[in-house]
Amino acid sequence: MNFWRYVYTRLLGICVFCITDAVLAGFLYVTGAPGYAVAWAALAAAVVGAVAFSVGYFYKRRRVKRLQAIADGLDRKELLGEVLPKPPDSEERIYYDAMKAVSRAALTLVADADKEQDDYRTFIEQWTHELKTPLTAMSLVVDNGCDAGKLRRELERADNLTEEVLFYARSFAADRDLLIRPTDVGQVVREAVAGVKNVLIASRLTLTVEGESTAYTDAKWLCFILRQLLMNCAQYTPAGGRIAVTVVPGEIAVADSGIGIPTEDLPRVTERGFTGSNGRKRGRSTGMGLYIVDRLCKHLNMQLVVESTVGKGTTVRLRGGYLILPKCKPAVMYG
């Protein structure tokens, strides 16, 4: 700790002490005290003040060195607030409490970042494993005469998996990709259906689409959301089942007649990495699909509502946001 810096920080106290010493000496002189007594009293007060100042300086310097040693010995500086000794005076206690709060906030952010990194690594590992399925299937299709329909179906699966990774990354940097503008929701629904039609046909599912509207939203993001929901329907709906997409003012609903979601799993279906009993039984779920969809919906100012009954099916509703201006126009797309 620099001595002159310490003097500068105590300059006001030094000035007050000197003025007090001078006033006291003047008072003693005015009251008739001998000059030598006044001089000795002033000198004694100055010596005591100097000793007290020196002791304070060396004590402060020792504390600063100790704190510096603690800081230098930490590999993770965000832990500094947790290991600092509690200061004796009230002024330093304010800074101590502030440092403690900052340190705990930093630790929370670091823990969240570490968890995010671990979850992302796990997701990529699961995604890579799952991507092998359509790639292996495409290889077998090519080796066995290259059935165009089967090849397109597996290409759709691979494309959807690739989009899942891309939108997972985009959900953390929405300002770089999100573009809100007037959008034909009916056209977006048709694009989403076209992107998974071979999977739906191969799964022998009947799909109906009803209703149209204009919305202020991001067409690319909404298309991915709908594709993800349709792929979930195809994965968890037995052959011969039904899927219905309904567009009404303020809502898009995607309903299927699949196996349904157990009641105890419903509150957690949008949690990161949660696969539920259905995902564990089928062994082909990363537990990230609805988590990504939910993140994207929040950026689009939409609410994701999941309703389900085991054995009867699941309905996913996209509510709110900027869905407006209905123009009813029922149509049967596949079936």
pTM listed for this prediction = 0.64
Residues 255-282 have pLDDT tens digits of 999 999 999 999 998 887 777 776 656 5
Q: What is the pLDDT of residue 332?
A: 42
Q: What is the pLDDT of residue 327?
A: 46
**E strands, 161-228, in order:** 181-184, 206-210, 213-217
Q: Which of 335, 55, 16, 325 is nearest to 205 (CA)?
A: 335
Q: What is the pLDDT of residue 325?
A: 42
Distance CA 309, CA 243 (A): 15
Q: What is the pLDDT of residue 1?
A: 60
Residues 48-78 have pLDDT tens digits of 888 887 887 787 787 778 777 777 777 777 6
Q: What is the pLDDT of residue 71?
A: 73
How much of the chain is in helix, strand and coil states, percent to nearest 5?
65, 15, 20
Q: What is the pLDDT of residue 286?
A: 66
What's the token pair of residue 234? 């195809």
Q: Are 157 and 134 spatial neighbours (Cβ–Cβ below 8 Å)? A: yes
Q: Are 273 and 267 spatial neighbours (Cβ–Cβ below 8 Å)? A: no
pLDDT digits (tens), the chain, 335 positions: 677 777 777 788 888 878 887 888 787 777 777 877 778 878 888 888 888 878 877 877 877 787 777 777 777 776 777 777 777 777 677 877 787 787 788 778 888 888 777 777 777 777 777 777 777 777 887 777 777 777 777 788 787 788 888 888 888 777 778 888 889 999 999 999 998 888 888 889 999 999 888 888 999 999 999 999 999 999 899 999 999 999 987 899 999 999 999 999 999 988 877 777 766 565 556 678 898 899 999 999 899 999 999 999 999 999 977 665 444 444 444 44
